[in-house]
Amino acid sequence: MDPLSIAGTTAGLLTLTAQIITRGYACMMRLKSNDDDVRTAVNDVSSFSGILMAIESQCKERGDDIASPMSHLIIKNQPLWRKKVDECEAVLVEMLEILDSLTKANKAQLLIKGNSLWEKLQKSTTQIETSKSFFILCLQLQNNEDIRSSQKISGKIMSSLDRLRDEQDRARQEAKLKERKEQQHGMMEWLGFSGEAMQDDLINTGHPGSSQWLFEREEFIDWLTADGQSGLWLRGPQGAGKTIIVPSV
């Protein structure tokens, strides 16, 4: 009995549970005060119906995926599942018949058969509880596996988010560096600094003999032979020729 067959059989069990719930409420309306056992049975069947719906959904979703605990349990234990499903069907059919009898019986019939019917109803309710425990255990096994899978996926997502955050940090740093370079470039352009081109310009436009006197000065010669920390200072008013001397040097 494969998972999809279980799903189909479960649909039939759900039909029976719906009939029992409907018949149970009708029986409670008729019995009025003497309805505690019926109410208990209806409540148990209602919760059992919810469990069966979960089983049906899992079987349809997992199919023959042997990696799924639910499918693995069904495929590896097909006789057990067949037996369990048949037992559930038999109990639900019997419970429906009992409720039919209680609903249709007159007072005399209730006096004669009442105790026997109540005992059968209580026994059926106990059997439903046993079946519920079995199916709940199967659902818990599947749920545990889903949680583990979810945790693995969450771990991968967190790792991806960490990598994305690192990449964003690098992108921000690169953007800041690029912005700083653009600002520096813009400032250079605004100041009109043209580097080597400006020096070449100044040399070409200067008189061939400009600054020659400086190169022949003892102070300049001393400066050339001094260590790299010494500085050459040119003092003079505007127009004295400092700008021409600097590129020549």
The answer to whether residue 180 is domain-embedded is no
131 and 26 share one domain: yes
115: domain range? Answer: 3-163
Please tell me whether residues 69 and 152 are part of one structural domain. yes
Rounded CA separation 202/196 (Å): 10
Q: Is residue 177 part of a domain?
A: no
- What was the pLDDT predicted at 93? 92
- Both tokens of 117, joined, read 């019917």
Maximum distance among all alpha carbons in the chain? 142
- Whether residues 105 and 208 share a domain: the answer is no
Which helix (H) or strand (E) element contains residue 8?
helix 3-31
Please check whether residues 126 and 239 belong to one and the same domain: no
145 & 242 share domain: no
Residue where one domain finishes, among candidates 163, 187, 222: 163
Condensed to tens digits (0 to 9), the pLDDT of residues 167-187 reads 888 888 888 888 888 887 777
Residue at 128 is within a domain:
yes
Please name the residue ranges forming H helices in 32-106.
36-62, 69-76, 78-104
Residue 42 and residue 24 in contact, taking contact as beta carbons nearer than 8 Å:
yes
Domain count, the chain: 2
- Residue-wise pLDDT for 118-173, tens only, equals 888 888 888 888 888 888 888 887 777 777 767 777 777 888 888 888 888 888 88
Residue 18, pLDDT score: 92
Give, for 13, the enclosing helix (H) or strand (E): helix 3-31
Statement to judge: residues 201 and 135 lie in one domain: no
Q: For a pLDDT cut of 90, what percent of the chain falls above it?
A: 3
Whether residue 107 is contained in a domain is answered as yes
Distance CA(243)–CA(98), nearest Å, equals 116
Residue 48 lies in a domain: yes
What is the structure's pLDDT at 3? 66
pLDDT at residue 94 is higher than 70: yes
- Asked whether residue 131 is domain-assigned, the answer is yes
Q: What is the pLDDT of residue 1?
A: 60
Residue 154 and residue 63 share a domain: yes
Q: Is residue 94 part of a domain?
A: yes
Structure tokens at 18: 């719906």
23-72 confidence digits (pLDDT tens): 888 888 877 766 778 888 889 889 888 888 888 887 777 766 655 666 66
Based on the fold, state whether residues 34 and 133 are members of the same structural domain. Answer: yes
Considering 122, 143, 163, which residue would you say is the last residue of a domain? Answer: 163
Q: What is the pLDDT of residues 191-249, one digit of tens each?
A: 665 656 666 666 666 666 667 777 788 878 888 887 766 677 777 677 666 666 766 66
- Residue 133 belongs to some domain of the structure: yes
Same domain, 153 and 204: no
Q: Are residues 63 and 134 in the same domain?
A: yes
**9 has pLDDT over 80:** yes
Pick the range with the lowest mean pLDDT from 74-78, 85-89, 110-114, 243-247.
110-114
